[in-house]
Chain A
Amino acid sequence: MNNSKEVNFELNLLPVISLLAVLLSFLLLTAAWVQLGAHEVKQALGGESDSKATLISLWIEISDSGSINLRVKQDVDKKALREILVQTQGNGVDQESLYEILQVLQKDLPDLKTALLMPSAKTKFNEVVAVMDTVKKANLRDVGIAPL
């Protein structure tokens, strides 16, 4: 009756390690190290724009030098309610000043949710995206871009 068989046994971990190593290699090889994002542009051409969202809109003119001219317009009479010029500091768009002004504008005009970008011919694509980024940061959801 002397039972010499041990009940305890060791789990064979080698297959587990092999499986994990394969999984790890696969995931490391297929991982996307550069995260792609997207800035959506809502076009303001023709009748495709949302009429409800464009009651008050912000028109952003970007000059070649990077300075920005902001105009708040009401669609009823198309007159500029307010006009602000953001001068560039150094090269490119001054994003910080633009963001501060957009925040002040949003406090005064809570219905302001639409922005229309009007870049000039020589405006760099990088600057257009930088302005779009700042506008999105300031919680203006509908951003359009006007062709030349």
Chain B
Amino acid sequence: MRRSLLYNPSALTALEGQSCIKPRSERSSRGLYATLLLTPLVDAFSILVIYLMVSTTSSVDIDINQDIQLPEASYSSVIESGTLVQLSGKDFLIDEQKIGASDLLDYLTRLHETLKKASDPKAKKLIVQADRSENFETLNPLVMAGTQSGFEEIVFAVIQTSEARGQD
């Protein structure tokens, strides 16, 4: 060890260097280096990992448009997969395609048929993302076209507030 490149006498601790009671002799191989206790660190990491894994909900990952401020609700249910429709201005965004209110019924009917043929679970629900400040008259064409096009349910996307988590 003494001959090794890793041995560096200057790396001795100050206590070792100044010690009069038990000076570091040539024969003694004991060092006063304190080993870092890694067990509490592993414990803390494990707790954090378990907490994050448990708190990750099984809900579907859905993109939220940054321009849309969703309304808040306390008694909502967990969101499931479906066809996402975002309301931007007076147009509707479906699969990053802008659809006008007049073409909405035709587009949704065709989309529903395609999804149904492919046995896609998105054929069941229509998820609506709209800004909280929108008037209902802007949403009305979507509510009208939603059921007529064959989708079983219309779902309004909301942000869950704390009260709701207890209900789920």
Contacts of B48 in A (CB 8 A): 24
Determine if B79 and A38 form an interchain contact, defined as CB atoms under 8 angstroms apart.
Answer: yes
Q: Name A36's contact: one of B42, B64, B144 (CB within 8 Å).
A: B64
The total of chain A residues at the interface (CB under 8 A) is 44
Alpha-carbon gap, A16 to B75, bound state (A): 41
B49 at the binding interface (Cβ < 8 Å)? yes
Q: A132 within 8 Å of B by Cβ?
A: yes
Q: Which residues of B contact A105 (CB under 8 A)?
A: none
Question: Taking chain A's interface residues, is the majority helix, strand, or loop, or is none over half, making it mixed?
Answer: mixed
Of A1-9, A53-61, A76-84, A122-130, the one touching chain B: A122-130
Complexed CA–CA distance, A35 and B78 (Å)? 9
Check B74 for interface membership: any CB of A closer than 8 A.
Answer: yes
Query: Could you tell me the distance between the alpha carbons of A120 and B57 in the complex, rounded to whole angstroms?
Result: 36
Contact with A along B135-161 (1 / 0, CB 8 A): 111011001101110000111111110
Report whether B134 and A148 are in contact in the complex, using a CB–CB cutoff of 8 Å: no
Contact yes or no, B135 A38, CB < 8 A: no
Contacting pair A32 B133 (CB below 8 A): no
Contact in complex: B49, A20 (CB < 8 Å): yes
> What residues of chain A have their CB less than 8 Å away from a CB belonging to chain B?
13-14, 16-17, 20-21, 23-24, 27-28, 30-32, 34-43, 45-46, 48, 119-126, 128-130, 132-133, 136-137, 145, 147-148
